[in-house]
Structure 1
């Protein structure tokens, strides 16, 4: 009889109790008769009555919502872009998120992004989305989304809004490429001109140095020095074994070499 009662108790526990396993990177919240518990469980098991309760598991890791949208620009063009919205649920506020937004909160994040991105991108030109202004656009979209999400309740942390694979209208893309090419050509020509100016300045400096050297040399050649140099030249010639014809006026030598 005791054995029978024991097995009956086990059967009742099996029928009225069940368990959910919470893995790393997850958090579980028990919902009983439609009401969420304020207790958030992580990495373990949760016992619950399957007839009146259930356990909802949500990721606490960084999640990525990917979208491909056509964004409006200030001049009225449409710019296609691949978007990544990085967000994370705040662990202690998961019950609040589930109560206010439900498990379909990603669709709400997406709707808020569509509205925020349209408002922000309409203030910028299409070329800005393809330049260094992209980071500013991303930050403004994120800020506007954060404000709109807080109106829906706390619990969702926006990490980043990333605009990837920007595709400008064909005509505008060609114009931007031509402009960039023209800017590069202008920079290259400016470099060539600068190099030419430097080379011209170098030649001027060399010429001025040569002129100054000749001036100093000519100023140092007095008549007395010329006479001394002439005598030294005659002395050197007198010691030479080669036969030479010397035509001179007695002041400066003029040498004519002859064959040996």
Structure 2
């Protein structure tokens, strides 16, 4: 049984003994608390630092959010820090992107699907168009883009896809089928698509790089007709080319013949009997065998032509020529 006394009496244990209350060392408690606090800081500092560290890789930007909403701050590539308690970031790629709609399975963004844009031409013919849009996020407008789309997938489905389908169908309806598959027709489709997308992109933080009309797929029957027409055209062109070559060859031969005839005419006019006789005499010295043309009266023709008659001088010349010929033959 316990007996308690009032005032400053010392408590009595059940066995009748008494013990004093031990003194508390406040300095020791404060020291231990300080050590624990320092340990917590040492442990937490790297964790907090790691959570606050926000590096941004090349080709990307990060939109800073505060309490879950875009704050308007954008981190460019490099090292950055945030308040991990109230802030967070979302990474956006600023590298070029490509969105393709194609009839070839596995070629477009929707795999294993014929995703070409089907349009009606001015004359009511259905045509499929394959197209690629190349674009990128504007880093200066990254906050605006993030607020509207959050990412490129949503932008492709909500902006690019419906816009390009609409503009191509409108523009294709102004073109006949005979023009839409030509280079001129595809240029018109591309220009219309770029103009429309450029306006939409400027409002939503995107940069349009280019629009590529990759292919215009005509209906099978019409494609065969166009192909046959092209083959006929090529054959006709080939025949025309062959005729042109033949004509050029005939002109060449005609010009060559005219040139040869003119040369013969000039030569004929320049060669009189005296010139021929002189050339004949010159040739006598170049050969051992001499053939002397004889006229109707037995005189060498060139002698009669030179002397102009068959008198005594002609006879003497004939004798000399005969002797000379005999001598040449004997020498031979």
| TM-score > 0.5 by shorter chain | yes
> 232, 242, 251: which is aligned to 1:192?
242
Out of 31, 38, 57, the residue aligned to residue 6 of structure 1 is 38
Which residue matches 1:81? 129
Selected match of 2:167 from 87, 97, 116: 116
Counterpart check, 1:49 vs 2:84: yes
Q: Count how many residue pairs are aligned between Structure 1 and Structure 2.
A: 247
In 2, distance between residues paired with 1:76 and 1:37?
51
1:47 alignment partner, SS class: coil
Structure 2 CA distance for aligned equivalents of residues 32 and 231 of structure 1: 118
Q: Distance in 2 between matches of 1:48 and 1:55?
A: 11
73-82 or 155-164, which deviates more: 73-82
Which blocks of at least 5 consecutive residues in structure 1 are unaligned?
254-260
Residue 266 of structure 2 aligns to a residue in which SS? helix
Kindly indicate which of the two structures has a greater share of residues assigned to strand. Answer: 1
Q: Which residue is equivalent to 2:118? A: 71
Identify the residue that residue 257 of structure 1 maps to in structure 2: none
Q: Distance in 1 between matches of 2:190 and 2:170?
A: 12
Mapped contact 1:28–1:58 kept (Cα < 8 A): yes
Q: Would you say the 8 A contact 1:112–1:149 is kept in 2?
A: no
Determine if contact 2:63/2:74 at 8 Å carries over to the other structure. Answer: yes
CA shift, 1:195, in A, is 1.6
Q: Distance in 2 between matches of 1:148 and 1:81?
A: 21
Q: Conserved in 2, the CA contact under 8 Å of 1:120 and 1:140?
A: yes
2:95 — aligned with what?
61
1:33 — aligned with what?
67
Closer, same or farther: CA 224–62 of 1 in aligned 2, 3 Å: closer
CA gap of 1:130–1:6, structure 2 versus 1, over 3 A, is farther
- Runs of 5+ consecutive residues of structure 2 not aligned to the other structure: 1-32, 103-115, 303-332
Q: Report the Cα offset of residue 84 of structure 1.
A: 1.6
TM-superposed CA distance for 1:204, in Å, is: 1.7
| Larger Cα-atom Rg | 2
Partners of 1:53 and 1:230 lie apart in 2 by 115
Q: Which residue of 2 aligns with 1:148?
A: 200
The alignment partner of 2:192 has SS state of helix
Superposition deviation, residue 157 in structure 1: 0.8
Deviations 1:84-107 (A, max 9, x none): 211111112111112234432222
Q: Structure 1 pair 47/177, CA: closer, same or farther in 2 (3 Å)?
A: same
CA RMSD of superposed structures (Å) = 3.5
Cα distance, 1:118 vs structure 2: 1.8
Alpha-carbon deviations, 1:184-210, whole Å to 9, x = none? 223222222222122212222222223
> Which range moves more in the overlay, 114-123 or 55-64?
114-123
Q: Name the counterpart of 1:213.
A: 263
Q: Secondary structure at the match of 2:195?
A: helix
Structure 2 CA distance for aligned equivalents of residues 102 and 30 of structure 1: 13
* 2:253 aligned residue (203, 210, 235): 203
Residue matched to 1:178: 228
| CA displacement at 1:127 relative to structure 2 | 5.0
